[in-house]
């Protein structure tokens, strides 16, 4: 009888140990947990260092992804179209080609032309020592309105140009001054669409100092 009891006890032990070895499914850890999702990338463009910050929440306008861009030399931050060509110039790089310009940022979905070609890019942010009166002359044919950009009073100029140089070219320009410097944020595109302009307006609205 004692041997039978021992055999039953051993069998029960095996059953219990088998139950204890049952495979458990592990709960996967959350992605990016304890990781910095705002990755800062420093880029050296023509000798000038800028900081590109990929935001944790991606933003998309008219099918174009926007990423945060910080211009440390000029002291502003915007969102710019991702995957577009872009370039940043500082004063010593453009003083001969563009006298009076202190800082220049240009971006375009197509390869950028060289400086001095007339067309800089679809979107331009220019910081200069030039007077507002001088720049206003270049957009005097456009409709103007009072707006606010980056918390600063500005003037918006908008219209479509057709002349011996261009045909059906939409032009939008914002002009304002900050700390004694003149800012020009410009958009130009032939046969522009509302989707194209929405991307530009989002960039303008995102400007902060």
pLDDT digits (tens, 9 = 90+) for 124-154: 999 999 999 999 999 999 999 999 999 999 9
Per-residue pLDDT for 35 more than 80? no
CB 176 within 8 A of CB 152: yes
Which H or E run includes 152? strand 152-161
CB 125 within 8 A of CB 185: yes
Q: What are the residue boundaries of the structural domains of the chain, listed by start?
A: 39-206
Beta-bridged to residue 69, according to DSSP, are 52, 78
Q: What is the per-residue pLDDT for 58?
A: 63
Rounded CA gap, 198 and 59, in Å? 13
Which CATH architecture is the domain 39-206 placed in? Answer: 3-Layer(aba) Sandwich (3.40)
**In the block, residue with structure tokens 């140089």:** 165
């Amino acid at each position: 009888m004692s041997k039978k009891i021992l055999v039953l006890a051993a069998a029960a032990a095996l059953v219990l140990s088998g139950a204890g070895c049952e495979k458990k499914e592990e709960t996967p850890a959350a992605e990016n947990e304890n990781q910095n999702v705002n990755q800062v990338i420093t880029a050296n463009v023509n000798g000038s260092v800028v900081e590109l910050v990929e935001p944790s929440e991606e933003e998309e306008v008219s099918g174009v992804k926007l990423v945060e861009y910080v211009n440390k030399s000029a002291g502003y931050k915007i969102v710019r179209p991702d995957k577009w060509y872009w370039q940043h110039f500082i004063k010593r790089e453009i003083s001969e080609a563009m006298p009076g310009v202190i800082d220049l940022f240009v971006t375009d979905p197509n390869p950028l032309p060289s400086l001095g070609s007339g067309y800089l890019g679809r979107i331009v942010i220019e910081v200069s020592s030039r007077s507002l009166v001088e720049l206003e002359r270049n957009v005097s044919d456009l409709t103007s309105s009072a707006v606010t950009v980056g918390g600063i009073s500005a003037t918006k100029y908008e219209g479509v140009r057709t002349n011996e140089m261009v045909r059906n070219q939409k032009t939008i320009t914002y002009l304002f001054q900050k700390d004694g410097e003149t800012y020009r944020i410009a958009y130009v595109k032939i046969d522009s669409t509302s989707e194209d302009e929405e991307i530009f307006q989002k960039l303008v609205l995102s400007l902060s100092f």
